[in-house]
Amino acid sequence: FSRSQPLGALVEQAFRQAGTPRRVAIEVNQSSVACALARAGAGVAVIDPFWLIEARENGVVCLKFAPGTAVTAQVLVSRGAPLSRPARLFLATMRRTIKSLQVQGLL
């Protein structure tokens, strides 16, 4: 992630705290792009946890990042309008994905 993005700033902070220099050849703002580059052999990618299942199913080895960095995901919805059916299905899928990642020890 780009250092100008919130997740990129967290990664940068983790490297600094570990005393490890961060050598970056390419910065991207999307985990899908980072996964594609890693799969193509361009190096390693630090991605958000929601891409772990997709990455593992597409030939990428996933390793835990240490030190662990907490990321809080939030869902924003309208206070004055009910959720649409697609929005409810999306939230249900997200909850199942989070639970699956927790069971696998990836979150």
Query: pLDDT digit string (tens) for 51-76?
Result: 777 777 777 887 777 767 777 778 89
Give the amino acid at 40.
A
Q: What is the model's pTM?
A: 0.63
Q: Whole-number mean pLDDT of the chain?
A: 83
Q: What is the mean pLDDT of each run of 10 residues along the chain (107 residues)?
A: 79 86 84 86 82 73 75 85 94 89 78
Instruction: Give me 25's structure tokens.
Output: 């050849």
Give the amino acid at 26.
I
What pLDDT score does 93 carry?
92
